[in-house]
Structure 1
Amino acid sequence: MLFYIGIILITILYIAVLELSKNILISWVIGIMASCGVIIAHLFFKRSGNSSFKTSLLLWIILFAVFGINYISTTPPYKRVPAVDNKNPDVTEVVSISQGNLTGVYNKDHSVKVYAGIPYAKAPIGDLRFKEPQSPDSWEGVRECDEFGPMAMQSRSNPLYDSLSHILGWHDYQIKFGDEYIEEMSEDCLYLNIFAPEDAGDEPLPVIFYIHGGSLTTGHPSYTEYRGEDLAKRGVIFVDFAYRLGVFGYYTADDLKAESENGTTGNYGLLDQIAALQWVYDNIEAFGGDPEKITIAGESAGASSVNALCVSPLTEGLFRYAIAESSGIVAYKPYHTFRSYDEALEQGDIVRDEFGVSSSKELRDIPADKLLTSSSVQSAMTIDGYAIVEQPYLTYEKGQNHEKALLNGFNAKEADAFLLGTKATSDNYVELLADALGPYADDMAKVVPADSPQRDQHFIVDAMGDAKGALNISYSALWFSYSHYVWNNYLIAQNVPCYEYYFTKTNNILSNYHAGELPYAYGNLWRHPGLYDEEDYALSEIMQQYWVNFAKTGDPNGEGLPEWKMRSADQDQLLQLDTQIKMIDDPNTELYKIIDLYQKSTIS
């Protein structure tokens, strides 16, 4: 009996592994048949009197061998992600643009049309690797835009580890049929996606142009939190897209600068973003959008990219407003996603040394998956003299930035997830602060002592406190919220409208950590059944309307919404986004005073 119970339990565990690994469904059938075969064989030997420990051991070995071969031979295929969740979606009418004719697909209730996988530039492969994006190719006939394009080249874990992270970390894993595949990844990734309402009305609609985050090294626009169906239902057109990442997007070398007709290198991912924005400006009218009413938006590295687009001379006149969530590069010395040209060159040298080549031209012959293995740090933009011509803060001081209004803000626990592996104690606390503050670490430790009470929402919930919690508070301000403080101050001085939020809502998934606001603001809570409650959905309704109102008018306020006061020299409160929505004092005001001292010391 124990033999049969063991076979059944092992088979159940095996089927679970197959599900988490996204193996094709035939693997389940083979696994169950193998188990049944072993049980039948054992019964046969038992009835014939030949059952023994050796027989049982042999059957176990055979079962595990079949399981292993089955696991390896039924791995999930690579394919593109469907544009909508509903099966066999209805096809839209033909849309004509300069490249050719195309169709999209409808979502389930026909309220939104999705055009996915539209090429906005030529594939950056072969000789076009490490070059500015080129104009896209045209096509004959009608292109079916019903799948997202491939994700950009990036490191990623295998499906089993990814599934476990969604179970243990995100708590949002769902068992469903039809997801037995791995999303296609390719250098040929320069595609965009358009979400447009079915009933657009007579007037061209405002456009939200969204740049995904991921430290400029990961991310893909098919991600559910970036889908724009719900915002489109509110009367805007939502666009997102892929751009080159990591070494493909931010590798820097003088020989590339010399060969470029624009004298640029190191900002290929940023130039992809600009090319996508130009494409939208040139073509969005065909989808019902107004090219003169584009709002650029992004979160994390996407927000840093929004900040870069605001200062780039290449984007003047291509957009009106900006939405930036949890990042920026306007500090004197940005803490991430931006570096000096010399730093970029040093990392480029590492790439060539690793692969034993003397020129960037030789790097173009190395397979993309091998190039991904580079240990160099390629997660930052640089001053290339073309896309970015100077330190961003200098452009703001001159008043030459482009945004006409800004909606921006940050979350309660921005840095916590990034510091999970950091061991902080009262003994090394100041030393850890010094990594980001130099000689001003002691001053920060006085403002946020190592035994500071834990923050949750805007309130103190753990009176004991510990060094790790204190470090989280300090680095959340350093890495993420400080850039918004500086950004707003520049715009206040320019009399440009700006609105700042502080997201503190807790929940059972991302909570108020980094990126926790995304499914609220872009209307994708429903994609995580059981993890959000009525209060979450109520907050999401309000946040979506704030975002849409801002895209329409440059002011998030509207009928029935809690008042969101504009920042000014006399008004420095933030809008707290939580179960109760209200204006509150910035919890980081005293921290910013210390960071200001350090930042000023970097340019003196």
Structure 2
Amino acid sequence: MLFYIGIILIAALYFAVLELSKNILISFAIGIIAFATMIGLRIYLKKKSLLTVRNRILMWIAFLAVLYINYALTPPPYKNVPAVDNKNPDVTGVVSIAQGDLTGVYNEDHSVKVYAGIPYAKAPVGDLRFKEPQAPDSWEGVRACDEFGPIAMQSRSSVIMDSLSHILGWHDYQVKIGDEYLEAMSEDCLYLNVFAPEDAGDEPLPVIFYIHGGSLSTGHSSYTEYRGEDLAKRGVIFVNFAYRLGVFGYYTADDLKAESANGTTGNYGLLDQIAALQWVYDNIEAFGGDPERITIAGESAGASSVNALCVSPLTKGLFTYAIAESSGIVAYTPYHTLRTYDEAIEQGDIVRKEFNVSSSDELRNIPAEELLTTSSKQTSMTIDGYALTEMPYLTYQKGENHEQALLNGFNVKESDAFLLNTEATSENYVSLLEEDLGPYASEMAKVVPADSPQRDQHFIVDAMGDAKGALNICYSALWFSYSHYVWNNYLIAQNVPCYEYYFSKTNDVLSNYHAGELPYAYGNLWRHPGLYSEEDYELSEIMQQYWVNFAKTGNPNGDGLPEWKMRTADQDKLLQLDTEIKMIDDPNAELYKIIDMYQESTIS
């Protein structure tokens, strides 16, 4: 009896590991045969009175060896993600652009055409590593654009850990056939994707150009939370893309600056974004889009990148409006995503020292996988004198920023996930705040005491409160929402329309934490069956229409939608996006007064 109980427990654990590791299907068949053979062999040996201790040990050793070898030899292959979920999708008609002819694929109901994996620049490999993106190559014949390109080089967790995160964190793990693979990753990553409605009409459609987040070190354009099928159904062209990340996108060195015809270094990922935007401006008419109505959009580091594009001299005239979710770099001293040139150079020195080279050119010979192991911090853009010529706030003070309207905002619990490993107590609370507020930490502690109640969609959940909850409130403002407060104030002074939201809807997935608004705004709740309620879908419908209306006119308002009042000198309320949609006071208004004082001290 103990044998069979043991076999059942081992089988349950083994097949769970195979599933979580995404091993290919043959591994399950081999595993079943191994377990059946083990049971049959035991029955046979027992019947023949050969079930000695020695034979039992040998049998278990052989059995466990077979299980290990099966696991080791059947890992998931690497391949690109299909452009649509439906199997054997129909192919679109041929689209002709300067590079050549291409086709895409239809989604299941033929409402949207998806053209995935279109190269917008030459592969940045070999001698092109650490160089500005180059014009893409042309091709002969018709290119089938039916799968997303490889993700940019980035560190990623083991397959099992990734699966467990979807079980324990996202709550959206699904056991299904067909996902036994890992998404391909390569330096050859500069590809974009176009989502276009089948029935586009006669007039060119507005375009949403989306920049993914991920601290400039992770992320990929195939991510389901910001695919564009549903927005395309509402009458826009949606484009997203991959760009160089981490050390490949933001490594900075004086010798690279010297070899560049443009005198630039440190902003290769940002220059990729600009190259993709230029490609869209030049080619989107072939897909039914209007190059004169491009809205740049992004979340987190993508929103910081949007902010950078708004001030870059290289993007003037390439877009009209901007959407920024949960980040920006317009503070006097941004808390993340932007650094001075000297800071960038210091981190570049660390890279060369780690790999024992004296020049950046030698780093081009280091395998990409090895470069990923650098301990240097490569998660920020820099003032390179080319893509970014000055601190962004200076450009806003001059009124030389490019966006003609802004839709922006933040979520309730922006910082919570980033502070999971931070121990906060009433004793160390002020000292933790000093890291980003200096001498003004004690002033912040008066506004948000260590025993402040935690916030949720209705602002208060735990009336007792604790220091960790208070720290989360402060850092959600410091790291994320403060940049929107400053950004809006600059645009108000310029008489540029701006609309600010506050996302507070709770759910069983990302809730109102950082990035929780994404599947709502971009129409991808349906990709998580059973995890969102009817209220969530109703909110998503409204948010999608706000985003689309804004891309069309620079104003999110429209028939049947709750009024979203524009920010003005006399109107500083935000639109709360929740089960009830209404204008509310900014919950962080008092915090901004303290942050303002600290920020002013950094430039005085």
Identify the TM-score tier after normalising by the shorter chain: over 0.9
Partner Cα separation in structure 2 for residue 343 and residue 251 of structure 1: 11
**Correspondence for 2:520:** 520
Find the aligned partners of 2:237 and 2:319 in 1 and give their Cα distance: 14
Match status 1:224 vs 2:224: yes
- Measure, in 2, the Cα distance between the counterparts of 1:260 and 1:196: 37
Instruction: State the 1:8 CA deviation.
Output: 2.2
Instruction: Give the equivalent residue in structure 2 for 1:442.
Output: 442
Specify every segment of 5 or more residues in structure 1 that has no aligned partner in the other structure, as ranges: none
Deviation at 1:59, TM superposition (A): 2.1
| Whole-Å separation in 1 of the counterparts to 2:510 and 2:52 | 53
Say yes or no: does 1:205 pair with 2:216.
Answer: no
8 Å contact kept, 1:458–1:587: no
Matched residue, 2:158: 158
Count the aligned residue pairs. 604
Q: Give, in angstroms, the shift of residue 461 of structure 1.
A: 1.6
Aligned to 1:315: 315
Alignment-derived partner of residue 362 in structure 2: 362
Offset from partner CA, 1:323-355 (integer Å, 9 cap, x none): 000000000000000000000000000000000
Structure 2 Cα separation of the partners of residues 9 and 425 of structure 1: 42
Cα distance, 1:421 vs structure 2: 0.1
3-state SS of 1:362 partner: helix
Inter-partner Cα distance in structure 1 for 2:226 and 2:566: 27
Q: Map of 1:290-369 to 2, 5 A cutoff?
A: 290-369=290-369
What is the CA distance between 1:60 and its match in structure 2?
2.0
Tell me the alpha carbon deviations over residues 261-284 of structure 1, each in whole angstroms, 9 at most, x when there is no partner: 000000000000000000000000
Alignment-mate amino acid for residue 389 of structure 2: V
2:556 aligns to what? 556
| Distance in structure 1 (CA, Å) of the matches to 2:458 and 2:597 | 25
Is 2:446 the partner of 1:459? no
Distance 1:437 1:20 in 2: 43
**Is 1:429 aligned with 2:415?**
no
What is the CA-CA distance between 1:2 and the residue it aligns to? 1.8
- Counterpart of 2:243 in structure 1 is 243
2:580 aligned partner: 580
Q: What's the secondary structure of 1:249's corresponding residue? A: helix
Measure how far apart 1:53 and its partner are.
3.7
Is contact 1:412-1:458 (8 Å) kept? no
> In the alignment, residue 451 of structure 2 is paired with which amino acid?
D
Share of identical aligned residues, percent? 82
Q: What does 1:256-271 align with in structure 2 at a 5 Å threshold?
A: 256-271=256-271
Amino acid at match of 1:194: V
* Cα distance between partner residues in 1 of 2:348 and 2:489: 35
Residue 397 of structure 1 aligns to a residue whose secondary structure is helix
Local SS of the residue matching 1:485: helix
Map Cα deviations across residues 8-30 of structure 1 (whole Å, 9 max, x no partner). Answer: 22112111110100000000000
Asked if 1:277 is matched to 2:274, the reply is no
Q: Which amino acid aligns with 1:338?
A: L
- The CA deviation string for residues 338-397 of structure 1, in whole angstroms up to 9 with x for no partner, is 000000000000000000011001111111111111100000000000000000000000
Structure 2 segments unaligned to the other structure (5+ residues): none
Deviation at 1:549, TM superposition (A): 0.2
Separation in structure 1 between the aligned mates of residue 507 and residue 460 of structure 2, nearest angstrom? 18
Equivalents in 1 of 2:67, 2:10: separation in Å? Answer: 10
Q: Distance in 2 between matches of 1:596 and 1:56?
A: 73
SS at match of 2:266: coil
After superposition, residues 78-117 of structure 1 pair within 5 angstroms as: 78-117=78-117
Q: Determine if contact 1:414/1:513 at 8 Å carries over to the other structure.
A: yes
Which residue in 1 is equivalent to 2:286?
Answer: 286
Give the secondary structure class of the aligned counterpart of 1:462. Answer: coil
Alpha-carbon displacement from aligned partner over 1:472-501 (angstroms, at most 9, x marks no partner): 000000000000000000000000000000
Answer whether contact 1:452 1:470 (CA < 8 A) is retained: yes
What's the CA shift string for 1:70-99, capped at 9, x where partnerless? 011000111000000000000000000000
Identify the residue that residue 571 of structure 1 maps to in structure 2: 571
Conserved? CA contact 1:8–1:35, under 8 Å: no
Counterpart-to-counterpart distance in 2, 1:132 and 1:274: 10
Q: Secondary structure at the match of 1:201?
A: coil
Q: Which residue of 1 aligns with 2:125?
A: 125
In the alignment, structure 1 residue 597 sits paired with structure 2 residue 597: yes
TM-score, normalising length: structure 1: 1.00
CA positional deviation for 1:33: 0.3
In the alignment, residue 602 of structure 2 is paired with which amino acid?
T
Partners in 1 of 2:469 and 2:53 — Cα distance? 56
> Following TM superposition, by how much is the alpha carbon of 1:55 offset from its aligned partner in structure 2, in angstroms?
2.9
- TM-score normalised over the length of structure 2: 1.00
Report how far residue 5 of structure 1 moved: 2.4
CA contact under 8 A between 1:311 and 1:402: conserved in structure 2?
A: yes
